[in-house]
Chain A
């Protein structure tokens, strides 16, 4: 793909949430507006390379989308539905006949706010997680259905349906294009942050730096997080989330071997880490720590920073990491946090102490994520020198995991112990 086309695609993606949010602010009808914007984008991607990028690209898209909307309203059935909707469902939505609504849609000052409201809509708590992810990637990240489908390894038709259903679910949940009330705002922001982090975690490790054909979800999540940071510059947890993702993403080039097995942190070639991203993550973290209430993303970012700053695995500041996990466990307790703390305990107080900690975890917790528990137990047992028990634990973990890279890693780990025995 040539550079000019790529630039146009990037421009269109940046404009998507701005254009869409402006239209939904004015007309309501999230579904119809989203469809209309998609059509306008599809037209632009054909016409702009041919005719040149218009002087006012955003205005061009708004006009094109609005034309599609009006055309669809002209059909008798659609008009009846709209009148019904406007009268019954969205009495507060200003239709095109209301003066002043035009000004708001064109007003750049409210544009940023509208994008934030759009994010809230896409991350509506009533939606399923897959719907939240797909809708956010479509409406805020500006990916096409084909791109989102490719990123999630599902057929395009399937993803198209998922997005259609998601938009319907927004309507069914009574999702309105308005900022949540102040009391709800922190909770809704937490959901938005969570959705962004989930997108990040869906990023496939198999291909790094996907092109526009198959976008890299980790990079998309970082883009949306940057956007969110622009919209909420005083939100320390947003900054923490972005810092965390930058620091974790920096390690990706070192995370998988040619045999498809994952390479754990202490074995990674740190020369392969992206030190530019690490620098950006560290700078962001230092700017934000202490500026607002400490939250789980900031703490996780601080832990990631300690790993990133260690030149070798051996020089890692484990006592400090352990202290941070203790904080994290108070802020956002979970089995994964407890397991990670057990690993830190083992580094500071020895593997037996780590094993004891795991033993103290509730039976429910152990059962729910048993293969993770087994994997950590395997590591710690190996470090105590109990090869047979370690091998057993690794094999149990390998049988329990649904992740290919993780399974390969655990099988190799178990096999190494058998090799040493004989």
Chain B
């Protein structure tokens, strides 16, 4: 089974709680997770996204698609990145928990649809 793990975060900017060491630790966590998922044969995809302020959103407004500046969710927390892993739900939740423990940002875990015809 495949799961998508979505990381939602506010602008990842330094604050009193987020020191230089915190950022360094974050980098190390991400790199080691990628390596772990890769080594276990679980990593299908993993990407960070550019800052949400750079996003543009296309909405259907008055019978036409209209692009505007900004991410879809006009809230503090926007999609910051994702993994797709091939693993069970337990494992997906475990990975997400480890990330949330460090970042304190929420992560959504949702199964990816499969395209097989016989099920």
Binding site for B on A (CB under 8 A): 257-261, 391, 395, 398-402, 404, 408, 411-416, 418-419, 422
Contacts and interface: CB of A to CB of B under 8 A. Distances in A.
B53 A399 contact: yes
Contacts of B11: 399
Interface in B4-48: 11-16, 18-20, 22-28, 30-31, 48
A415 B31 CA distance: 20
11 contacts: A258-B28, A260-B27, A260-B28, A391-B14, A399-B11, A399-B54, A408-B23, A411-B13, A415-B20, A415-B23, A416-B20
Contacts of A414: 13-14
A415 B22 contact: yes
Nearest to A394: B14
Contacts of B15: 418
Contacts of A260: 27-28, 30-31
Contacts of B53: 399
Interface of B: 11-16, 18-20, 22-28, 30-31, 48, 50-51, 53-54
B19 A415 contact: yes
Contacts of A412: 20, 23-24
A258 B51 CA distance: 23
Across chains A and B, which 6 residue pairs bring their CB atoms closest together, nearest first? A259-B27, A415-B14, A260-B27, A415-B20, A399-B51, A259-B24
A422 B16 contact: yes
A400 B51 contact: yes
A302 B14 CA distance: 38
Contacts of A259: 23-28, 31
Contacts of A408: 23, 26-27
B37 to A, nearest CB: 14
A399 B14 CA distance: 12
Contacts of A399: 11, 51, 53-54
B42 to A, nearest CB: 17
Contact of A418 (B14, B27, B50): B14
A419 B19 contact: yes
B69 to A, nearest CB: 13
A261 B51 contact: no
A411 B22 CA distance: 10
Contacts of B54: 399-400
A395 B48 contact: no
A401 B50 contact: yes
Contacts of B51: 398-400
A260 B51 CA distance: 18
A408 B25 CA distance: 11
B90 to A, nearest CB: 27
A415 B13 CA distance: 8
Contacts of B20: 412-413, 415-416, 419
A402 B81 CA distance: 12
B84 to A, nearest CB: 13
Nearest to B35: A206
A414 B54 CA distance: 20
Chain A CB within 10 A, most for which of B13, B26, B30? B13
B93 to A, nearest CB: 24
Nearest to A399: B51
A164 to B, nearest CB: 23
A395 B13 CA distance: 7
Contacts of A261: 23-24, 27
Given A400-B54, A415-B18, 15 more contacts: A259-B24, A260-B27, A260-B28, A260-B31, A261-B27, A395-B14, A399-B51, A400-B50, A408-B23, A408-B27, A412-B20, A413-B20, A415-B14, A418-B15, A418-B16
A261 B25 CA distance: 11
B41 to A, nearest CB: 14
Contacts of A411: 12-14, 23
A414 B11 CA distance: 14
A257 B13 CA distance: 20
Nearest to B22: A415
A106 to B, nearest CB: 46
Nearest to B52: A399
Nearest to B15: A418
A412 to B, nearest CB: 5
A395 B18 CA distance: 13
A367 to B, nearest CB: 14
B115 to A, nearest CB: 14
A402 to B, nearest CB: 5
A348 to B, nearest CB: 29
Contacts of B22: 415
